């Protein structure tokens, strides 16, 4: 509950400042240079707020890292990691994998799924990257499909094929009832699937 109120407060402040900039640009009300002189204070306040908010995360909410790299081996079938200005490296040390969510801004995501033997009931992995690359190592017999989007980036499969329209099904999908669904969203970054 408290997190929602905090986000609401930030949103209202940013909307008010945005309207002040619009009013100033249309000369409805002249704020002069005073608004521009105070605008760095907003960025400083926002930065402190984000850093303070970082300490409130618990292990059940996943891992969130700012200005640092995350490298972990987990036996959990479900993963959730986020990073800003740092790399994420995750190795799944479990025979069953159900999916999860990994997000990175200005960092690389490396995911090692070599040890998995089967896909759990959920079976979807959401990957979000802005100004960073994603590398996923999969076992040879893993059935997976890609349904994603890229903006100024590309998706390449283990056989060197470029995924042109954001959709791809591995040959192992034929006859398989458990398929890992990869849902990448890339902006200024590439994704590669390797074996």
Domain final position from 54, 78, 95: 54
C-alpha closest to that of 75 among 111, 115, 122, 123:
115
Measured over the CA atoms of residue 39, residue 45, residue 51 and residue 57, the dihedral's sign is negative
Looking at residue 75, what is its pLDDT? 85
- State whether 184 and 167 are in the same domain: yes
SS3 annotation, the chain = CHHHHHHHHHHHHHHHHHHHHHHHHCCCCCCCCHHHHHHHHHHHHHHHHHHHHHCCCCHHHCEEEECCCEEEEECCCEEEEEEECCCEEEEECCCEEEEEEEEEECCCEEEECCCCCEEEEEEEEEEEEECCCEEEECCCCCCEEEECEEECCEEECCCCCECCCCEEECHHHCCCCCCEEEEEEEECCEEEEEC
Shared domain check, 68 and 46: no
Domain extent, residue 67, equals 62-194
Same domain, 46 and 97: no
Q: What is the pLDDT of residue 183?
A: 92
| Final residue before a domain boundary, out of 36, 54, 72 | 54
Q: Are residues 24 and 66 in the same domain?
A: no
Number of domains observed in the structure of the chain:
2
pLDDT attached to residue 64: 65
The pLDDT assigned to 137 comes to 93
Angle between helix axes 34-54 and 2-25 (nearest 10 degrees) is: 160
Whether residue 109 is found in the same domain as residue 31: no
| In a shared domain, residues 187 and 151 | yes
Tell me how many degrees the CA angle 139-145-146 measures, rounded to the nearest 5. 110
Predicted pLDDT at 134: 92
The b/e string for 99-131 (b: 16+ C-beta within 10 A; e otherwise) is: bbbbbbbbbbbbbbbeebeebbeebbbbbbbbe
pTM equals: 0.64
Pair 104, 80: CB distance under 8 Å? no
Same domain, 81 and 128: yes
Q: What is the residue whose two structure tokens read 């079938």?
A: 77
Report the pLDDT value the prediction gives residue 32, as an integer from 0 to 100.
63
Give the pLDDT confidence score for residue 135 in this predicted structure.
93
Tokens of 119: 């896909």
Write out the chain's pLDDT in tens, 195 residues. Answer: 444 455 666 666 766 777 777 666 666 666 666 655 666 666 666 665 555 554 443 333 356 667 777 788 888 888 888 888 888 899 999 898 888 898 888 889 999 999 898 888 788 999 998 888 999 999 988 888 999 888 888 898 888 888 878 888 888 888 887 889 999 988 888 999 998
pLDDT at residue number 49: 59
pLDDT of residue 37: 61
Based on the fold, state whether residues 101 and 158 are members of the same structural domain. Answer: yes
Within this chain, do residues 35 and 83 fall inside the same structural domain, yes or no?
Answer: no
End-of-domain residue from the set 19, 37, 54: 54
């Amino acid at each position: 509950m408290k997190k929602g109120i905090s986000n609401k407060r930030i949103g209202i402040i940013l909307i008010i400042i945005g309207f002040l900039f619009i009013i100033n640009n249309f000369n409805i009300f002249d704020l002069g240079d005073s608004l521009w002189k105070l605008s760095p204070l907003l960025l400083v306040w926002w930065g402190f707020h984000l850093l303070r908010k970082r300490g409130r995360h618990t292990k059940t909410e996943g891992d969130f890292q700012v200005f640092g790299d995350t490298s972990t081996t987990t036996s959990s079938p479900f993963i959730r990691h986020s990073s800003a200005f740092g790399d994420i490296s995750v190795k799944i040390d479990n025979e069953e994998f159900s999916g999860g969510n990994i997000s990175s801004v200005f960092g690389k995501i490396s995911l090692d799924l070599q040890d998995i033997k089967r896909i759990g009931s959920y079976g979807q992995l959401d990957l979000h990257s802005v100004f960073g690359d994603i590398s996923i190592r999969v076992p040879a017999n893993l059935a997976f499909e890609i349904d994603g989007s890229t903006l100024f980036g590309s998706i390449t499969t283990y056989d060197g094929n470029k995924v042109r329209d954001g959709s791809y099904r591995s040959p192992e999908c034929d006859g398989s009832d458990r398929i890992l669904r990869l849902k990448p969203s890339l902006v200024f970054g590439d994704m590669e699937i390797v074996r």
